[in-house]
Amino acid sequence: MGILEGKVAIVTGGRSGFGRAMSLLYAKEGAKVAVSDIVTESGEETVNSISREGGEAIFVKADVGKPEDCENLVKQAVSEYKQLNLAFNNAGIGGVSAPIGEYPIDAWDKVIKINLSSVFYGMRYQIPQMLKNNGGVIVNMASILGLVGFAGS
C-alpha cells in the first residue's frame, strides 16, 4: 500500500518528462491518476504504462491554455474517481527565441496562456473540488525561466 492510496491526482503535461514521471510515481504510490495533455497518443502511452504496473489512470485531452478545458479535466477526474486530492500543474512550452522587439505577439500570447494562465485556470477549478474533501495538495511546476532570464527568452 502506497502513501497515496485512495487519493486522486491530476497531472497536466503528462505525456512526457516530469509529467509522465509524476504520473507514474503517483500511481506507484496508490493514487488514481487523470493524465492530461494536448497530445493524445503520448498521453495514452503514460496511462498504458501505469496500467501495466498495476495502477489506475485515465487520459483526458486538454489544452490547459483554455479555461473550459481545465474545468472539463477536473470534471472528468471527479466523474471517474469521485474526488480530487492532488494536482501537478506541469504543462509548459519553451516558446520562440527572439529579441523582445521582434518577438511575435501570437507566440507571446501562447507562452503566457500555457505557462502562466494555465496554472491559474487549473487551480481555479481544482481548489473548489479539493475543498469538498477538506483540502488537497497542488504543485505548480515552472522551468528555470521561472527564476532567471536568458537572452532571447
User: For position 1, what pLDDT does the model report?
Assistant: 73
Least-confidence region, from 71-80, 108-117, 118-127, 143-152: 143-152
Q: Cα(97)–Cα(89) distance, rounded to whole angstroms?
A: 24
Give the ranges where 15-146 is alpha helix by DSSP (H): 17-28, 40-52, 67-81, 105-112, 118-131
Mean predicted confidence (pLDDT) in 138-151: 81
Domains, the chain: 8-146 (3.40.50.720)
The pLDDT-based confidence of 144 (bands split at 50, 70, 90) is: confident
pLDDT over threshold 90, residue 87: yes
What are 30-85's pLDDT values in tens digits?
Answer: 999 999 999 999 999 999 999 999 999 999 999 999 999 999 999 999 999 999 99
**Under a CB-based contact definition with an 8 Å cutoff, are residues 62 and 37 in contact?**
yes
